[in-house]
Chains A and B, each alone.
Chain A
Amino acid sequence: MTRTRYQEMLDRLKRDVIQMGKLSQTAVHNSVKALKELDMELAQKVIDEDEVIDDCELKIEKGVSQLIALQNPTAGDMRFVTSCLKIAIDLERMSDLAVNIAEITVNIEGDHIKPLVDIPKMADIADNMLEQAMIAFENNYIDLAKATAERDDEIDRIYYATEKELIEMMIDDKDIITNASHLLFVLRHLERIGDHACNICESVVYIASGKRTDLN
């Protein structure tokens, strides 16, 4: 193997992206857990730890810039390096959405208007999509990336059904409008998290094959 320093920089970048993926996944997971259990402490933890994830993004951005400036990555390396930047942006957005969910939890007054079933189900799928997308990234698994992106349809189905249900509940009972609209936003945030997971899957396909695909 030649170009040892180059390879070290590429390896470090990959480790940083994988690490950021784990932190974002934890943020998404905890934000929904806090919402379901109305655990204000956990919600606050998600909000506080966002800074660490933002730092990860900056570190990745710096690693990408250095690789481009110093090493002239081409071909598969170039696809990997530019995609790392995109993936970091997706992960950062996902963490911000998790923070948004945590902030909603902090602002919810009293108990939930109904037992939360669909939202945690949606969150489980989104959480799992992110985990699988990052496994696909780590190992260049094109098939896993494609299969993972397909699960976004399940999220969308739950999103539309639950949205409809919440609107009907608000029509029936004006007193729940505040909390129900909070939940509408949570739905929207989870749906967006699924979309970002799809983006990561698209990046994996591009890295591994050079093909730009629309999996969303």
Chain B
Amino acid sequence: MPDNYDDSIEIKVENLDLWYGDNQALYDVSIDIPKNSVTALIGPSGCGKSTFLRCLNRMNDLVKSCRIQGQVHIDGQNIYSKDIDVVGLRKRVGMVFQKPNPFPMSIKDNIAYGPRIHGAPKKDIDTIVEEALRSGALWDEVHERIGMPALDLSGGQQQRLCIARTLAVRPEVLLFDEPCSALDPISTAKIEDLILQLKKNYTIVIVTHNMQQAARISDYTGFFLTGKLVEFDRTEQIFESPKEKATEDYITGRFG
């Protein structure tokens, strides 16, 4: 546990630097993300926001040339300490990606996949599947056909299935990397409503290029530029009176 541990903070990042080979992608990022909140990360392409997001469940470990300095604490635990179980970490910190990526199997098996791997008893599976699909706001649409292939669902339904699949292993934190960029406005609205529902039980961090989405659903917004966290504040503050000119220029669309 860090010395300055505060239990209202779910994710505490201190002085995080990250390199891909010789290229530094993150510079001295420090941020406190409160529990049961939605935090949006915004910034132009290549600013480091997705790289930062991937640090929160050690997805960057999979990139060979990647080197990290600094600390990331989740629920008081340093996730980069040597004794951490990375698989267990990724169960605690779930991730949903830009394109819906259901497994090529039935709706039910998609949801049950994680719990089975983590050793859930067979008799509990049906309950877990129903709970997860309900939490993912998909149950009403699919409960009569959970044996059908997940790939037959619409794009928006597939994305909610991926969220439900993440929820099935009971994480604490949900990371979303551009979850709506491949979806139409109606599916987007459903995912946004779902995210607002989910924050009651989870801490959510979302990377988005859609500034209005950040404004609509987040409690906090962080603005990244060239690997640095330029500004982090309450979302109302960022969109009404940002402190930094670079933030203002970006959110009013006056960059470049």
Contacts and interface: CB of A to CB of B under 8 A. Distances in A.
A78 B239 contact: yes
B241 A79 contact: yes
Interface in A68-95: 72-79
Interface string B241-253: 1100001100111
Interface string A179-211: 000000000000000000000000000000111
A60 to B, nearest CB: 20
A3 B253 CA distance: 7
B119 interface: no
Interface residues of A, number: 15
Contacts of B212: 72
B256 interface: yes
A6 B252 CA distance: 10
Interface string A26-49: 000000000000000000000000
A74 B252 contact: yes
Nearest to B241: A210
B255 A2 contact: yes
A144 B239 CA distance: 26
Contacts of A76: 241, 248, 252
B146 interface: no
Contacts of B196: none
Interface in B200-256: 211-212, 215, 238-242, 247-248, 251-256
Nearest to A71: B253
A117 interface: no
Contacts of B251: 74-75
A75 B221 CA distance: 13
B116 to A, nearest CB: 45
Interface of A: 1-3, 6, 72-79, 209-211
20 contacts: A1-B254, A2-B253, A2-B255, A2-B256, A3-B253, A6-B253, A73-B252, A74-B215, A74-B240, A75-B242, A75-B248, A75-B252, A76-B241, A76-B248, A76-B252, A77-B252, A79-B241, A210-B240, A210-B241, A211-B241
